[in-house]
Structure 1
Amino acid sequence: MTIHNVLVVDDSKTELLYLSDLLKRQGMSVRTAEGADEALKRLADAKPDLILMDVVMPGQNGFQLTRSISRTPMYADIPIIMCTSKNQETDRVWGLRQGARDYITKPVNPVELMEKIKALE
């Protein structure tokens, strides 16, 4: 599976712009969502090839949203990479247990992120 369409979920406009620019420079199409409700609307509109998920967001956090998406049959095959400032090993393990395929901490290293994306293809 080649990854072309990415949904970036983060409540920080700065982070959304940074990640969108990074991915677009790699030739990917990017849609963004600033929280769980908006992310679910974007999923209903068009299924992405990959979701980059922040953890700390108002309302439903990224762990909860990842669990919800990965347990919904229609979306369970979409890989999710947690992309968060939460850098404890327990957070990484918890994110993976919720259904994330990988976990990267902020500030995001562009080379590391692209390696993680390529490893999914």
Structure 2
Amino acid sequence: MAIHKILIVDDSPTERYFLTEVLVKSGFSVATAENGEEALLKIKVDKPQLILMDIVMPGQNGFQVTRSISRDPETKDVPIIICTSKGQETDRIWGLRQGARDYIVKPIDPHELLAKIAALG
């Protein structure tokens, strides 16, 4: 299944803008959420085909939100790529154990991101 609808979950307006620009220019439809709670509401209303998840956010962190999404029968099939400044190997392993399909460390290289999305689609 080709990926068209992507949800970006990041508390940074700069990161949301940057990722939206990269994805829209590549032909994707993009929605954004500023935190995990907003993301969980948006997923229920309009299920995306991919989620780009930050980790460090107010309220629930990205690990917690990823775990909620990947354990919910209605959303567990939506792939998640964690996009975070947390570059430790233990963070990457923990993110994948929570249900993420991939892990990218910021600053995000647009070519790397698009390649990872293509690999999922």
Using the size of structure 1 for normalisation, the TM-score is 0.99
Provide the rounded CA distance (Å) in 1 between the counterparts of 2:86 and 2:73: 28
User: Where does the alignment leave 5 or more consecutive residues of structure 2 unmatched?
Assistant: none
Q: Cα RMSD (Å) of the superposition? A: 0.4
Deviations 1:34-92 (A, max 9, x none): 00111011111110000000000011000000000000000000000000000000000
Residue of structure 2 in register with 1:72 after alignment:
72
Cα distance in 1 for residues equivalent to 2:64 and 2:91: 13
| Counterpart Cα distance in 1 of 2:89 and 2:103 | 10
SS in 1 for 2:6: strand
Look up the equivalent residue of 2:113 and give its one-letter code. Answer: L
Q: Aligned residues, how many?
A: 121
TM-score by length of 2: 0.99
Q: Which runs of 4+ in 1 moved over 3 A?
A: none
Q: How does 1:20-31 map to 2 (within 5 A)?
A: 20-31=20-31
Query: Unaligned regions of 5+ residues in structure 1, if any?
Result: none
Question: How many percent identity over aligned positions?
Answer: 64
Amino acid at match of 2:111: V
